[in-house]
Amino acid sequence: MDRRVVITGLGVVCPLGNDVNTFWNNLIQGVCGIDFIRNFPSDDLQVKVAGEVKNFDPAAYGIPAATARKADKFTLFAMAAANQAMKDAGATGVEPERLGVYIGSGIGGMQTFINEVVNLKENGPQWVSPLFIPNMIGNIASGNVAITHNARGVCLPIVTACATGTHSIGEAYRAIKHGYADVIIAGGAEAAHVPLSIGGFANSKALSRSEDPLAASLPFDARRQGFVIAEGAGIVVLEEYENALRRGAKIYAEVSGYGNTCDAYHYTAPRPDGSCAANAFKAALDQSGYCEDDVVHINAHGTGTPMNDKSETLAIKSAFGEEGARKVAICSTKSMTGHMLGAAGGVELVAAALAVDQGIVPPTIGLTEPDPECDLDYTPLKAKKLDITLALSSSLGFGGHNAVVALRKI
C-alpha cells in the first residue's frame, strides 16, 4: 500500500519566534535570532552568544500549570509546537488508533539531568526527584504529546543527534505512506542550551567563539568558525492525502521523498567527500520524480562548521550534478536561528514547507565572504521569490547520520 502524504499543520518555538507567523516573517526579513546569552551567567564560558527562545509562556499553548512546573523545557517546547500544529491542521475526529506521534530529541532533558546531579551531590540519593527519569528521557516529549492528543497509534521517538527532527518526519512519512497511520504529529525538540553542553561543544572546537551575534553563525562563509547552539521545537502534522482532501484541510506541501544513510566514517566528523549524504539526497530526489524542469530549493544543514559546509556542498553537487547544483536555490536558516540540534530538522522542515507554499526562499544572512569551496547559490543576505516545485531539507548528525526529506508543491 503506497499512499500520498501531505503536511496540513505547522508549529514552531524557536529563537525567531514562538508561533509560525512570527517565525516566518522574521525568517524572510533576515532577522537574526542569535544574541548574547541571558538565561545564565556566561562569564566563565568560552562562548558568549546563543539562539535562546524568548518570552516563552507554556500557558499560551494550553499547557497545564502542573505540567509546566514539572516537565523539562524540551518537552514543553514540543508540546507547545505540537498544539500549534494540531490547531493549524484542525485534525479533529481522527481515530485515536490511527493517530501517531514521532517527536525526537537529540539529547533530551539536559537541565533535568543537571538539576538532579546537583541534588544528588548536595543532599544525597534519597532526595533525587521521583520524576528525574520520566522528565529526562528523550522519548517523553512524544509521550506527553500523545497523552495531550489521545494519540494511541504508532509512536516512535527517534534519536539521531542533529538529524533527529528530519528522521522523525521521514519515518512518519513512511508510516503513513505504507498504511500504519492516517495522521502523525512529527518533528524534534531540544533544550540543551546549558553551560554543560556549551562546555562540551566548545572544548571539542565545534562552537563559534564570535562575540558579535550578527557574525557568529556564518554558514558557507570563509570566516565561519563553528555553529551557534540554540533551542526550540519544530513540529508538522503529516496526513494521508485523501483524508486531508475529504475534510477540506489546507495543504502546505506533499511529502514526496525521504533519504536516510550513514557515513560510517567518524563519530563526529562528516565523510569529507559527502558521498553518503549525496546518497540521501539522491534517494529523496528519485522518490520525488525529480527532473531538470523542477525549480528546486534546499534548506541545507549548513551549520557554519568548516567541514560540514564543504562536504554538504560536495553532496549537493554529486546528487544534482555540477550544472544542476548551480540551479538550486539553497539557504541555511541556521544563520538566523543558530543550531537547535535535534529540533533543527523540524524547524527547517517547517521553513521548507512555507517556502513551497509562499514561493519564497529565505536568505542566508551574514554571507558576505563566500568560501571558494562553497560556490553554489546560498541565497546570500536577502530572501527571493521563486516558484518552487520541489524543496528538500537536509540534516546531518554526529554518528554520521544523514537525512533528507523532499516536499512537492501541490
Q: Which of these is catalytic: 162, 276, 331, 374? A: 162
DSSP symbol at 364: B
**Which helix (H) or strand (E) covers residue 132, if one does?**
helix 132-136
- Do the strands 390-397 and 296-299 form a parallel or antiparallel pair, or are they unpaired? parallel
Q: Cell 566528523, residue?
A: 269
Respond yes or no: is residue 339 known to be catalytic: yes
Contact present, 79 and 61 (Cβ < 8 Å):
yes
Respond yes or no: is residue 291 known to be catalytic: no
CA-CA distance, 220 to 407, in Å (whole number)?
24
* The three grid cell numbers given for residue 72, joined into one nine-digit string: 523539562
Q: Which of these is catalytic: 149, 167, 297, 301? A: 301
Q: Which of these is catalytic: 149, 167, 193, 339? A: 339
CA-CA distance, 42 to 28, in Å (whole number)?
30
CA-CA distance, 29 to 34, in Å (whole number)?
15
The candidate with the shortest Cα–Cα distance to 165, out of 42, 294, 78, is: 78
Contact present, 400 and 163 (Cβ < 8 Å):
no
**Which helix (H) or strand (E) covers residue 349, if one does?**
helix 344-358
Q: How many residues does the chain have?
A: 410
Instruction: Report the half-sphere exposure of 323 (CA within 13 A, side-chain side).
Output: 1
Respond yes or no: is residue 301 known to be catalytic: yes
Catalytic residue list: 162, 301, 339
